[in-house]
Chain A
């Protein structure tokens, strides 16, 4: 499973004591404002690690996730907006990295579907109740 392969290298480095180019330090982040910290945490939760099976940047230990967390951090501390950061990631890794899909023509159904289901449900509910009332009226 590729999920674990990524970690193997880090481990080899640990066993043999060699420092690899891959495992860059993910030091404790310092933020100027608490809102930056919250934004950082939300962003790395909602961005998908492009290499992993199905993990967010926050959850993955892979080298690429570490690098991209660094990038998110740099962009947040240089006052880039969430949209800027998402656009930056999409330009390089595609829409795949967004756990929350964009709202565009090709994802229209995805976003419209819940509302559609709810409305159909509401219509069904009303129709069934009306049919029931008819039965009640005819029988009594």
Chain B
């Protein structure tokens, strides 16, 4: 009964979404305020009924209702409760429902915060959001309903959740990632509303900026969680593989970062307006493209869902209608938008322009690298792989250049900066950074790009701290009162930049200062990697609820100082007949120890991969700091809605 009710509730949600799209449009064009205002309750109703449907599915999962096909395929009575709940988004259908739920959630929140907007603007904004909702709701209902029953022959036991996904990281990774992906539909809707109503000014930019920041912060977190998960769960110790699905989430992040920066120019200086609108559409299009790539099965990846061309066609059609409509509107309306000021080559605007150009270059590089295997195959050139060597060669140098400008941009002034001032402010931090980097590299493997990146990272770090302190230290007040008075957005910016620096330092050090060994050990034997000794002291087999476990015990010492015991594991999940490598991790601020158990040889020895990963935590720590910076900037008081402005 519950699945049917949930299904029905989803149908209602779709009806409300369709109404939510149509009614405000009619209202706005007929100048009927009552109709236009209906956009609010319709948005809320869509949200409520989507939520009920989601609750229904969660409930059915929790009571092991295997008469529902999706649950039978993705859950098992043996799973602990929290995995039963996370199994809701363990497959295509349920994760799409989660997607739609988050989309409706964002829409409700936009509606809730929309009282400061003009009525026409709000009507169109919510209408566009409802259009996106109705697209995804219909996609869910028509091609991928999670409520299809398996009657009368419903199985007694479930097919179990994919063991890869039976993990804490996977409980939170998809919701966060989707928050980011879906969040970019809000700036898109704002852009469309701006194009239709012609309202594209500093106030518009102030409305949008917090939404972009939030979406960006969630996407940052989502990507970082995905990377962290792949690192410890896939068992081969990498943190980024340039896998198509990773790239699919990275492209909107890069474009979203560009949007973040160009919005600043549009708000403060009334420049790059049409470019900002285009970026808002572009970022959303890339999120959408990511969905298409992942769910149509056109890409071969560890993360992709089972392939189904019907679904691919549906998403593609939706993408072409919504994004195509947006771009057509852009083509017709954007040329009339006028910029309202000017700048010269050393103005902050020009550094931000460079930032945008480089970010879009990076986006397009990832785009070409990800899609060219598809294009080449379709053109009959056979199968080609584009992997880490390609991206490292073409992406990294451009990324370093971008981060170089990150040092100059924040300290330059709007409109025009004196070159002498720039030189005066930057030279000392640069020498200092060069000095520290040279000192550090006495202990590291020398590589030009690594050295360059490391120096820039330190330089940007010093400049950011200097800028915050420099702004704070003045004659009349104490440091702390001044620091408290600095706007949150300035802190947010510097913190996010420092986050980039932290990640970059992590990336550089993990790539040049890590060590790995692939050894073959009997019980009682040991191996040493860097100055750590790993002794295999025991092997044991045990039975758990839904898997059999083969666990090794390693005693780890660092130059004869005992550090503790690590338990790398292999798990055999009977229901799906799958084997999982559960790597053992000993995490640390400056290094991770990582052991992955390989296979057993005839003579009872085991192959073991041991890694010492230098500063790998910093990569994700940096992402957290970036996220924090993004959120802090969004909380700046100038973005607070200030009552009706009619």
A and B touching (Cβ–Cβ under 8 A): yes
B238, A121: Cβ atoms under 8 Å? Answer: no
Q: How far is the CA of A33 from the CA of B504 in the complex (A)?
A: 32
Interface residues of B in 568-618 (CB under 8 A from A): 570, 572, 577-581, 598-602, 607
Q: What residues on A are CB-neighbors of B386 within 8 Å?
A: 99, 101, 110
B365, A114: Cβ atoms under 8 Å? Answer: yes
Verify if B446 is at the interface (C-beta below 8 Å from A). Answer: no
Interface string of A80-117 (1 = CB under 8 A from B): 00000000000000111111110000110110011001
B342, A135: Cβ atoms under 8 Å? Answer: yes
A106, B389: Cβ atoms under 8 Å? Answer: no
Verify if B344 is at the interface (C-beta below 8 Å from A). Answer: yes
Given A109-B368, A118-B398, A139-B342, A11:B579 Cβ within 8 A: yes
Verify if B301 is at the interface (C-beta below 8 Å from A). Answer: yes
Query: Which of the residues B244, B353, B381 comes within 8 Å of A128, measured between beta carbons?
Result: B353
B368, A106: Cβ atoms under 8 Å? Answer: no
Q: How far is the CA of A24 from the CA of B581 in the complex (A)?
A: 19
Q: How far is the CA of A3 from the CA of B385 in the complex (A)?
A: 17
Q: What residues on A are CB-neighbors of B390 within 8 Å?
A: 99-101, 110
Given A99-B387, A106-B381, A109-B372, A4:B350 Cβ within 8 A: no
Verify if B520 is at the interface (C-beta below 8 Å from A). Answer: yes
Given A46-B389, A100-B393, A7:B579 Cβ within 8 A: yes
Q: How far is the CA of A95 from the CA of B302 in the complex (A)?
A: 20
Q: What residues on B are CB-neighbors of A128 within 8 Å?
A: 353
Verify if B382 is at the interface (C-beta below 8 Å from A). Answer: yes
Verify if B156 is at the interface (C-beta below 8 Å from A). Answer: no
Query: Which of the residues B162, B358, B389, B598 comes within 8 Å of A121, measured between beta carbons?
Result: B358
Q: How far is the CA of A37 from the CA of B472 in the complex (A)?
A: 53
Verify if B364 is at the interface (C-beta below 8 Å from A). Answer: yes
Given A14-B600, A128-B353, A133-B344, A8:B387 Cβ within 8 A: no
CB distance from A100 to the nearest CB of B (A): 4
Verify if B345 is at the interface (C-beta below 8 Å from A). Answer: yes
Interface residues of A in 1-19 (CB under 8 A from B): 1, 3-5, 7-8, 10-11, 14-15, 19
Q: What residues on A are CB-neighbors of B73 within 8 Å?
A: none
Given A101-B384, A129-B350, A11:B572 Cβ within 8 A: yes
Q: What residues on B are CB-neighbors of A125 within 8 Å?
A: 350, 353-354, 357
CB distance from A31 to the nearest CB of B (A): 13
A110, B369: Cβ atoms under 8 Å? Answer: yes
Q: What residues on A are CB-neighbors of B385 within 8 Å?
A: 48, 95-99, 101
Verify if A35 is at the interface (C-beta below 8 Å from B). Answer: no
Query: Which of the residues A1, A58, A94 comes within 8 Å of B382, measured between beta carbons?
Result: A94
A59, B238: Cβ atoms under 8 Å? Answer: yes
Interface size on B, residues (CB 8 A): 60
A110, B372: Cβ atoms under 8 Å? Answer: yes
CB distance from B210 to the nearest CB of A (A): 28
Verify if B331 is at the interface (C-beta below 8 Å from A). Answer: no
B383, A94: Cβ atoms under 8 Å? Answer: yes
Q: How far is the CA of A114 from the CA of B407 in the complex (A)?
A: 23
Given A1-B162, A132-B342, A53:B607 Cβ within 8 A: no
Query: Which of the residues B361, B383, B384 comes within 8 Å of A107, measured between beta carbons?
Result: B384
Q: How far is the CA of A118 from the CA of B354 in the complex (A)?
A: 11
CB distance from B297 to the nearest CB of A (A): 12
Verify if A75 is at the interface (C-beta below 8 Å from B). Answer: no
CB distance from A58 to the nearest CB of B (A): 8
CB distance from B175 to the nearest CB of A (A): 22
Q: Which residue of A lies closest to B397 (CB)?
A: A114
Q: How far is the CA of A26 from the CA of B598 in the complex (A)?
A: 10
Q: What residues on A are CB-neighbors of B80 within 8 Å?
A: none
Q: What residues on A are CB-neighbors of B82 within 8 Å?
A: none
Verify if A23 is at the interface (C-beta below 8 Å from B). Answer: yes
Q: What residues on B are CB-neighbors of A132 within 8 Å?
A: 342-344
Verify if B550 is at the interface (C-beta below 8 Å from A). Answer: yes
Q: How far is the CA of A136 from the CA of B339 in the complex (A)?
A: 13
Q: Which residue of A lies closest to B246 (CB)?
A: A54
Query: Which of the residues A10, A28, A117 comes within 8 Å of B520, measured between beta carbons?
Result: A28
Verify if A45 is at the interface (C-beta below 8 Å from B). Answer: yes
Interface string of B534-560 (1 = CB under 8 A from A): 000000000000001010000000000
Q: How far is the CA of A121 from the CA of B385 in the complex (A)?
A: 27
Verify if A27 is at the interface (C-beta below 8 Å from B). Answer: yes
Add 19 more A-B contacts to A94-B383, A106-B384, A128-B353 (CB < 8 A).
Answer: A4-B164, A7-B581, A11-B579, A14-B570, A26-B598, A28-B519, A45-B388, A46-B388, A54-B244, A56-B387, A61-B581, A96-B382, A99-B386, A101-B385, A106-B376, A114-B365, A122-B357, A124-B357, A125-B350
What residues of chain B have their CB less than 8 Å away from a CB belonging to chain A? 162-164, 236, 238, 241, 243-244, 300-302, 342-345, 350, 353-354, 357-358, 360-361, 364-365, 368-369, 372, 376, 379, 381-390, 393-394, 398, 518-520, 548, 550, 570, 572, 577-581, 598-602, 607
29 A-B residue contacts at CB 8 Å? A7-B579, A7-B581, A11-B570, A23-B599, A26-B607, A48-B387, A54-B241, A54-B301, A54-B302, A58-B236, A59-B236, A59-B238, A61-B581, A100-B387, A101-B390, A106-B376, A106-B384, A107-B372, A109-B372, A113-B368, A114-B361, A114-B365, A117-B360, A117-B364, A121-B360, A125-B354, A129-B344, A136-B344, A139-B342
